[in-house]
Amino acid sequence: MRIIIVGGVAAGMSAATRLRRLSEKDEIIVFEKGPFVSFANCGLPYHISKTIKHRSQLIVQTADDLRSRFNIDVRVNSEVTHIDRDNKMISVNHDDQQEKLYYDKLILSLGSSPVIPKIEGLHTQSNIFQLRNIPDLDNIMSHLDESIKTVAVLGAGFIGIEVTENLIKRGFSVNLIERSNQILPNLDIEMAQSITNELIKNDVRINTGTTINKVSRDILYLDNGMSIQADAVIIAAGIRPNSDIAIAAGLKVGPNKGIVVDHDFKTSDSNIYAIGDVISVIHQITEQETLIPLAGPANRHGRQVADAIHGLSIKNKPEIGTSIVKVFSKSAASTGINEKQAKQLGLNYHVTHTFSYHHASYYPGATQVMMKLIFTNTGDIIGAQAVGNEGVDKRIDLLATAIKFRLKVDDLPELELTYAPPFGAAKDPVHISGYVAE
Ligand code: FAD
């Protein structure tokens, strides 16, 4: 069987290696538009400050490694431009040469791209950047020389915030611009406040509730009437799925342009599968179609689609969207839905806020975790957020597990967790949020 994978990073490469483990016989070909496969998108912001010292550390496996270790035919700089579903053929552009290839099964792991807002003057400027892949990073790194003093970051989601932190660490003066009235819109505003304070403490200038109207040379004109000087602008204002070739081939997409797939990751064509950022997923809490562009789900999809192609029993389950961001000495994490979404959905919900130490208060170094729990009248946990210096990841990972496996708030005090004074508390912050909610 010939299986062609389009897109060779998180989801695509995870599918390719799992397919090889499941069968030595299949012919597996991966086409990647860019020059690199299997690179660490999530690490890109940290090379700006050289926290990740060498660019080479971001390249997890090369095309040659994959060929020799797994007998996977990896072809970089090869863009798939067309899918001919009737004849099960794809067209590929490589070095301006067109090639057509037959597939038995096709996996689309096309990822997503940054949304570049329509802003007057933006496209005529050479100092505007995005960060999605290694060439984008190279572009930023080669531009950020001694002549650059000020940088603006458009978008205060987790990528914008990570970029901001690393620019500050590198010594730039940074203006962060966010259209909504708070940074990190996945959090509720009172939870985001402590991260806002942390950014301000580290000299980030924050401009919320506004966006860029016009760019002229190094001046950004904001829609609140202010203007900002910036030698460079990095855009991190959300993403859109790279579903254009799927749409052109008539595959079904959702309202968010994510490719619609079934429980086996099959698209509306039974020989074509789709995984990763490019698919529309069902949210476990809202039961609505949404996009959850995160690395964990993308890697899982990759493994599961290979299993599905080999007839193993899997289920593309609804997702909850769990994420975390480090912001200087603090972290912020969330899972499930936030209170703004609960309100919009008209749910009958309750909220608790708790402040408790990440490990025994008497053991040196204890810091407070601020937690928010959102749950329904029936005790179903529908969302959680945490902010603090330490232990935020552990609490949200626990609550994400609780939500995923449908525990109720009164199950939380029952969790039997590791405890010794350097690690936690006999009454962990998660227990306390459960007690308060009961
Ligand atoms: P991608 O990894 O984007 O791979 C898709 C590939 O398909 C691309 O390389 C693209 O060139 C290729 N492609 C597209 N169209 C074609 C075509 N027609 N022909 C051939 N090739 C094509 N997630 C987290 O969970 N935690 C994090 O900390 C985190 N940090 C991030 C930081 C940054 C800067 C970025 C950009 C993303 C981050 N993410 C993070 C998100 C995470 O990287 C993505 O969710 C994940 O990479 C999605 O995997 P994917 O395989 O679907 O898409």
Centroid of ligand 1 to alpha carbon of 37 (angstroms)? 10
Evaluate: CB of 10 within 6 angstroms of ligand 1: yes
| 27-31 vs 73-75, strand pairing mode | parallel
ipTM exceeding the 0.95 mark: yes
Catalytic option among 22, 27, 40, 42: 42
Q: What gap in Å lies between CA 119 and CA 75, rounded to an integer?
A: 36
Indicate whether residue 141 lines ligand 1 (CB < 6 A). no
- Give the burial class of 338: count Cβ atoms within 10 A of its Cβ; 0-12 exposed, 13-18 middle, 19 or more buried: buried
Per-residue pLDDT at 125: 82
Q: In this structure, are residues 328 and 166 in contact, taking their beta carbons and an 8 Å threshold? A: no
How many Å from the N-terminal Cα to the C-terminal Cα in the chain? 55
Question: What averages of pLDDT result for each successive group of 10 residues across the chain (438 residues)?
Answer: 97 97 97 96 97 96 94 97 98 94 98 96 90 97 92 98 98 97 97 98 98 95 96 97 98 97 97 98 97 98 98 94 98 98 96 97 97 97 98 98 97 97 96 94
pLDDT at 68: 95
Q: Kindly give the distance from the C-alpha atom of residue 178 to the centroid of ligand 1, in angstroms, as a whole number.
A: 23
Structure confidence at residue 162 (pLDDT): 98
Buried b (16+ CB within 10 A) or exposed e, 175-188: bbbbbbebbbbbbb
> What pLDDT is attached to residue 22?
97
pLDDT at 123 (0 to 100): 84
Nearest CA, atom 14, ligand 1: 110
pLDDT given for residue 98 in this prediction: 95
| Ligand 1 within 6 A of CB of 258 | no
- Rounded to whole angstroms, the Cα distance separating 343 from 136 reads 38
Residue nearest to atom 27 of ligand 1 (CA): 42
Q: How much is the pLDDT for 323?
A: 98
Give the up-direction half-sphere exposure of residue 283: CA atoms within 13 A in the CB hemisphere: 19
Q: Is 42 annotated as catalytic?
A: yes
Structure tokens of 416?
């039997």
Query: What pLDDT score does 146 carry?
Result: 85
Categorise residue 410: left if φ over 0, alpha if ψ from -120 to 50, beta otherwise.
alpha
